[in-house]
Structure 1
Amino acid sequence: MLDDDGYFGESIAADYDDSAADMFRPGAVDPAVDLLAELAGGGRALEFGVGTGRIALPLARRGVPVHGIDMSQAMVARLRAKPGGDAVGVTIGDFATSTVPGTFAVAYLVFNTINNLTTQDAQVACFRNAAAHLDPGGRFVVEVGVPDLRRLPPGQNAVPFHISSTRWAFDTFDVATQAMSSHYVTIVDGRAEHWSLPFRYVWPAELDLMAQLAGLRLRDRWEGWTRAPFTGESTRHVSVWEKPAG
Structure 2
Amino acid sequence: MEKHGAETYGELNADVYDEWHDIDPTDAVAFLAQLVEEGPAGPVLELAVGTGRVTIPLAAEGIDLRGVDASEAMVARMRAKPGGDRIPVTIGDMADVDPGTDDRFAMVFVVFSTFFFLMTQEEQVRCFANAARRLLPGGRFVLECPTPDVARYDREQRVEAHQVGVDHVRLTTVRHDPVGQRFLGQHVLITNNGIRLAPAFMRYAWPSELDLMARLAGLESVGRWGGWRGEPFTGEGNYVTVYEKPATPAS
Report the TM-score, using the length of structure 2 for normalisation. Answer: 0.88
How many residues are paired up? 236
The 3 A distance-change label for structure 1 pair 152 and 3 is closer
Would you say the 8 A contact 1:2–1:116 is kept in 2?
A: no
Q: Which amino acid aligns with 1:34?
A: A
The 3 A distance-change label for structure 1 pair 188 and 37 is same
Would you say the 8 A contact 1:179–1:198 is kept in 2?
A: yes
Partners of 1:157 and 1:164 in 2: CA distance: 23
Question: 1:91-130, aligned counterparts within 5 Å?
Answer: 91-100=90-99, 101-130=102-131
| 1:243 aligned residue | 245
| 1:78 aligned residue | 77
SS in 2 for 1:106: strand
| 1:215 aligned residue | 218
User: How far apart are residue 161 of structure 1 and its match?
Assistant: 4.3
User: How far apart are residue 40 of structure 1 and its match?
Assistant: 1.2
| 1:187 aligned residue | 190
Would you say the 8 A contact 1:2–1:8 is kept in 2?
A: no
SS in 1 for 2:9: coil
Task: For residues 130-162 of structure 1, give each alpha carbon's deviation from its aligned partner in whole angstroms, at most 9, with x where no partner exists.
Answer: 101111011100001011112335xx1123443
Structure 2: 5+ residue stretches without partners: none
Partners of 2:120 and 2:222 in 1: CA distance: 25
The 3 A distance-change label for structure 1 pair 89 and 178 is same
Partners of 1:89 and 1:138 in 2: CA distance: 20
1:39 and 2:35 are equivalent in the alignment: yes
| 1:196 aligned residue | 199
The 3 A distance-change label for structure 1 pair 84 and 192 is closer
| 2:153 aligned residue | 152
User: How far apart are residue 185 of structure 1 and its match?
Assistant: 2.0
Report the TM-score, using the length of structure 1 for normalisation. Answer: 0.90
SS in 1 for 2:96: coil
Would you say the 8 A contact 1:217–1:241 is kept in 2?
A: yes
Partners of 2:153 and 2:191 in 1: CA distance: 30
Comparing 95-104 with 143-152, greater Cα deviation is found at: 95-104
| 2:58 aligned residue | 59
Partners of 2:125 and 2:230 in 1: CA distance: 25
User: How far apart are residue 192 of structure 1 and its match?
Assistant: 4.0
Question: 1:124-143, aligned counterparts within 5 Å?
Answer: 124-143=125-144
Moved >6 Å (runs of 4+): none
Task: For residues 91-128 of structure 1, give each alpha carbon's deviation from its aligned partner in whole angstroms, at most 9, with x where no partner exists.
Answer: 11111114232111111010111111000000000001
Partners of 1:164 and 1:220 in 2: CA distance: 36
User: How far apart are residue 57 of structure 1 and its match?
Assistant: 0.4
| 2:21 aligned residue | 20
Partners of 1:113 and 1:243 in 2: CA distance: 22
Structure 1: 5+ residue stretches without partners: none
User: What do you get for the CA RMSD once the two structures are aligned?
Assistant: 1.7
Q: Identity across aligned pairs (percent)?
A: 43
Partners of 2:6 and 2:178 in 1: CA distance: 26
Partners of 1:49 and 1:17 in 2: CA distance: 14
SS in 1 for 2:142: strand
